[in-house]
A and B are shown apart, each in its own frame.
Chain A
Amino acid sequence: MNIILSGVGGNGVVLTTRIIAEAAVMEGINVRVGEVHGLAMRGGTVVSHLRLGHDAKGVLIPQRMGDMMLSFEPLEAIRQLKLLKRGAKVIINNDPYIGVDAHLGLSRYPDICRVLEQIQETQDLVDVPATHLAVEAGGVVMTNVVMLGTLSASRELPIRREVLLEAIKSRVPPHTIDKNIVAFELGEKAFQEWESSRACQVKQ
C-alpha cells in the first residue's frame, strides 16, 4: 500500500509519517518511508512516501501508484496529485498556508475552491477542518492527530485503531495524551460525518 503525506514545514508531516510507520511495524507490517529533510523549513514544501506491505522495497512511490494521500495543506495536495491512482482517497486539511511570497506575487496561490474541485474530479476527497478541530481539542499542534483520527476511521489502513493510538501516545508529551485522544476522536467523527453526508447525496 502506497500512502503520500504532504504539507508544509511546521505541519508535522514527518512526525505523522513516523507514527503511522511505527504503528505498522508494531502490526508486523514491512515498511519503507521516503522523506527528504534539509531545508524543510517552516512554510516549505514537505512530502513523505510511506509504503506498507511485503512488496515495499524502494522508498519512492512511482507516478500514479499512490493508494491514498493525507494532506495537511491544499496546495501541497495538488502538488502531489500526480502520485495518486484515479479514485484514491485524499484526506485533506482544508486550511491553506499562503506564504508571503504569494502575497508579494513571487509565487501564486491557487483559488482554494478550484483546488478542491480539481482534486474531486479524479479523487475521493475527504475534506476535514482539522486545524479548527485541533483548536477545539486544545491546540493547533494536534492537527496531525486529528488527521490520524480521520485516517483511522476511513478504514484504509491495515492498522488497528488501538495500535495507531499506541504509536501516537509514545510520540507525544505524556501530559498531552488525553488532549490528543480527544483530537483523534474529533478526527474520527469528522470522517463519520463526511460519510453520512455522502450517503445522503447518494440517496438523493
Chain B
Amino acid sequence: MAKKNRILGGAGEKVLLTGNEAIARGCLEAGVVVATAYPGTPATTILEKLGDVATELGFHAEFSVNEAVAFEVSAGAAMSGVRSLMATKMLGVNLIADPLTVISVTGVRGGLVIITADDPQQFSSQNAEDTRFFGMLAKVPVLEPVDGQEAKDMTRYAFELSEELELPVFLRITPRICHSSFPIELGEIHPPKRNGKFLRDPKRFVMISTFSRPRQKILNEKIAKAGIIADTNPWNRTFNFQNGRAVDDNKAYNTFGIIASGMTFPYVEEVLEVTKVNARVLKLATTYPLPQNLVTEFLREMDQVLIVEENDGVTELLTRALAQRKRLNVRIMGKDEGLIPMSGELNPDLVGDALEKLFGVQFREELTEPYIKAEKELVSQRVPALCSGCPHRASYYSIKEALRRKGMGGSIMGDRGCYNQGAYAPLEGIDSCICMGASIAMASGISHSGTNEPVLSVIGDGTFFHSGIPSLLNAVHNRSNIVSLIFDNSITAMTGHQVNPGTGVNLMGVHTGNANLKKIVEACGVERVQVINAFDTKRLIDAVMEEIDQPGPSVIISRSPCALVVERNVRQRKLKMYRAEVDLDKCIGCKVCMKKIGCPAFGWGDDPKPHLEILPHCNGCGLCVEMCPFGAISVPEKREGALGISVKPREVRE
C-alpha cells in the first residue's frame, strides 16, 4: 500500500502525529543530513520514519550497531559541517558518555542534536536515570518540549542552537511525548545540504591533553553563553493563572510560583484551571543551563515556588543554587520536601496532590467505595510472556531442561532484549538482566569465582553485535569456563523488528550482506561453536549438556526467525498458518504443557471435561507437541520434521 507518508505533509497543514513523528518532521524541516540510532528505545520510531523517506529526500539514516557508534557517526558528520541527529534513551546516553564528554570539548560545526527519551515510569527500562546530569557532566544544553508541536519546532531550533554554540544539544523527551499524538502544524521541509567536508584543525579535533587543556576554557564560555541565550528562548514563558484562567502577562501579582518543564506543564495548567489556585507559572524549556536572569526575576517576586519535574530534582537543585547565589528569600519546594514524588512519572492527580498539601484545595476526584472494591477484589496484573511461537521459548526450555538433567545447579546470565520476557514463570530462563552486553562478561566473572556450577549466558543477535563481541573475545583471552548461547532471530525484535548487521538489509533498504555470526564467534577464538535450530530441542538440550562438560568458553547459536516476522510473511504470501490441535480423548487436563512452557496460545476449556484449548493466535510452532506426556497435542498437516513455524508454501488458506 503506497499510503502517503504522514511526515511529508505540506507546510501549513495540520496533521495528527505522534511525538516521534513530529520530531522526525522537525529533522526534515531542519534539513538533517545524517540521522542515527540504535533501536530498542521509546525514540526508535524517529529513525524508522526518517529511514522511510531518507532515500527520497537524499539524506543518510542508519540503525547503527550500538549507541556509541551511532553517536560517533553523527558527530563525525557534524564535524564535517552538516546537520546530524542521534536518537536514544537515557541508558543509551550512558554509552555515548565517553565520546560526548570529549566532543563537547572539540565542539561541532554542523548542528548535532541528541534526542533522549528518559523513561521515568520505566515502561521498558532497567533504571530511571535523568539525562540532565549528562548535560551538566558534558556541558551540553538540554531542551525540553511540552507537547508534539514544541517537540517538532524545538528539534529544528536545537540544530540552530547547536550551530550557534558549536556544541551538541540534548532534546529531552519521555515516552509520553514519543507515543502520544497531537495535531501538529507543519513547517517548510528544507532539502538536506549534503555538502560536508572535514576541515583539518588538529588543535580542535586531536584531543591529546596539550590540545585539550586550552579548550576547557572555550567549553566553559560556550555553556555560559548557552545560559544567556536561554534567557531569550521563546519557549521559556511565564503565565499568571487567575481564577483558573491563564493570563499571558508579565505582571507579578501572585507570590506563589510554579516552575514546570516537559510533560508536566500541561498537568500544571489543568490542575490550576480546576482548583483555581492563583499562581505565576514559569514554563521552562531550557532545563540546562537555566536561563539565569529569567529564573532570578521570577524567583524575586515569589514567596514560595513549587518545582514540578519528572525523574530527578535537577531544576530544583539548580534553582536552589541560583536563589542562594542571588540571595533571594524564597522557599523552593519540590521533591526534597516530598510534595512531588521522587520516582515514577507524574500525572495531573499527583500535581493536584501537591497543591492539596500546600493549599488544601482538591483536584483528585476521590475513589469511592465501589471503585476501591473493584480495584481490590477484581484487578490482577497479567504476567507478560514471550509471544506464541517464539523461538526463545524453545531455547529457554532446552537450557533449563539441560541443567535439570545435569543436576548440578547453574546460573544463566541474561542480557537485554525481548528474550527478557523469558524471566517470568514458568520459564524463569534468566538469572540476571543488567545492561546491553553484560551477560557474557558477568558469566565469565562467575566462572572465575570458584563456583562448581555450570555458568551459562544468553544474549540475542542484536545485543551480541552491539556489545557482546568484546566480552566473548575477553572470555577466550582469559579462558572463562562458560557456555554462551546466542539467540539468533536475525533482527532486533523488541521494538518492532529493526534491522541489525545480521539482517542483511539496512535501514535505507540497501542489501549489505549478513554479518556471519558463526564466523565472528570463531574469529574471536572460540573453538567450540554449534548452530542449532531453536526448535530442535533434542539437539539443543544435548548440546548444552555436552558443552557444560567442556572446559573453556563455548558458544551455541540457537537460531530461528522471530515468530511475528514469520507470521507476517505467512500472511503476506498467503500461505497456510498451521495450528496445534488437542485430542480431547487423550488430554487429561494435567497442565504439564502449561507448566513447562506457558505459551500464551494456551487456553482452557471445561466442556465436557477440563482440557487444554488452543487459542486462535497459535501459529503452529509445534513446541507444545513434545511437552505432552500423553501425545494429546499435534499440529495436523504439518510437514514431517518441520521445526518451528513453517514458511514453506502450502495451499492458500481459504
SS class of chain B's interface: helix, strand, loop or mixed? loop
B254: shortest Cβ distance to chain A, in Å? 20
A38-B42, A42-B600 given; name 19 further pairs at CB < 8 Å: A21-B16, A31-B16, A35-B179, A35-B181, A37-B175, A38-B495, A43-B382, A63-B367, A64-B364, A75-B382, A78-B379, A82-B374, A100-B599, A100-B602, A101-B385, A101-B424, A101-B425, A114-B378, A118-B373
Proximity bits, A67-101, B CB within 8 Å = 1, else 0: 00000000100110110011000000000001111
**What's the A-B contact tally at a CB cutoff of 8 Å?**
177
The answer to the question of B348 belonging to the interface, with a C-beta cut-off of 8 Å to chain A, is yes
A45 to B380 Cα, complex, angstroms: 11
* CB-based contact B367/A64 at 8 Å: yes
The answer to the question of A25 belonging to the interface, with a C-beta cut-off of 8 Å to chain B, is yes
A93 to B176 Cα, complex, angstroms: 27
- Enumerate chain B residues within 8 angstroms of A43, measured Cβ to Cβ: 382, 385, 600
A95: shortest Cβ distance to chain B, in Å? 11
A104 to B598 Cα, complex, angstroms: 8
Which residue in chain B gives the minimum CB-CB distance to A121? B370
Q: Which of A31, A38, A98 contacts B182 (CB 8 A)?
A: A31
B346: shortest Cβ distance to chain A, in Å? 9
A102 to B270 Cα, complex, angstroms: 39
* CB-based contact B176/A39 at 8 Å: no
* CB-based contact B348/A110 at 8 Å: no
- Enumerate chain B residues within 8 angstroms of A115, measured Cβ to Cβ: 378
A78 to B377 Cα, complex, angstroms: 10
* 12 interchain pairs, CB-CB under 8 A: A18-B181, A22-B16, A25-B183, A32-B182, A39-B124, A41-B385, A42-B387, A78-B378, A81-B371, A115-B378, A118-B370, A118-B374
The answer to the question of A154 belonging to the interface, with a C-beta cut-off of 8 Å to chain B, is no
Q: Which of B267, B373, B602 contacts A58 (CB 8 A)?
A: B267
The answer to the question of A60 belonging to the interface, with a C-beta cut-off of 8 Å to chain B, is yes
Q: Which of B377, B385, B603, B617 contacts A98 (CB 8 A)?
A: B603
The answer to the question of B408 belonging to the interface, with a C-beta cut-off of 8 Å to chain A, is no
The answer to the question of A36 belonging to the interface, with a C-beta cut-off of 8 Å to chain B, is yes
The answer to the question of B329 belonging to the interface, with a C-beta cut-off of 8 Å to chain A, is no
Q: Which of A21, A106, A121, A122 contacts B383 (CB 8 A)?
A: A106
Considering only residues 601-631 of chain B, those with a C-beta below 8 Å from chain A are 602-604, 616-617
- Enumerate chain A residues within 8 angstroms of B370, measured Cβ to Cβ: 118, 121-122
- Enumerate chain B residues within 8 angstroms of A140, measured Cβ to Cβ: 616
Which residue in chain A gives the minimum CB-CB distance to B598? A100
How many residues of chain B are within 8 Å of chain A by beta carbon? 64
A104 to B599 Cα, complex, angstroms: 11
Considering only residues 124-160 of chain A, those with a C-beta below 8 Å from chain B are 140
- Enumerate chain A residues within 8 angstroms of B188, measured Cβ to Cβ: none
Given known pairs A33-B180, A41-B421, A103-B591, the reply for A60 and B381 (CB within 8 Å) is: no
List the interface of chain A (C-beta within 8 A of B). 8, 10, 18, 21-22, 25, 30-39, 41-45, 55, 57-60, 62-65, 75, 78-79, 81-82, 85-86, 98-104, 106-110, 114-115, 118-119, 121-122, 140, 173-174
* CB-based contact A103/B602 at 8 Å: yes
- Enumerate chain B residues within 8 angstroms of A81, measured Cβ to Cβ: 371, 374-375
A23: shortest Cβ distance to chain B, in Å? 10
The answer to the question of B347 belonging to the interface, with a C-beta cut-off of 8 Å to chain A, is yes
Q: Which of B263, B380, B599 contacts A59 (CB 8 A)?
A: B263
B443: shortest Cβ distance to chain A, in Å? 25
B638: shortest Cβ distance to chain A, in Å? 22
Which residue in chain B gives the minimum CB-CB distance to A60? B347
A84: shortest Cβ distance to chain B, in Å? 8
* CB-based contact A60/B123 at 8 Å: no
- Enumerate chain A residues within 8 angstroms of B367, measured Cβ to Cβ: 63-64, 82
- Enumerate chain B residues within 8 angstroms of A82, measured Cβ to Cβ: 367, 371, 374-375
Proximity bits, B1-45, A CB within 8 Å = 1, else 0: 100000000000011100000000000000000000000001000
* CB-based contact A21/B181 at 8 Å: yes
- Enumerate chain B residues within 8 angstroms of A10, measured Cβ to Cβ: 617
Given known pairs A42-B387, A104-B426, A106-B425, the reply for A57 and B270 (CB within 8 Å) is: yes
* CB-based contact B385/A30 at 8 Å: no
Proximity bits, B342-384, A CB within 8 Å = 1, else 0: 0000011100100000000001111110110111011111111
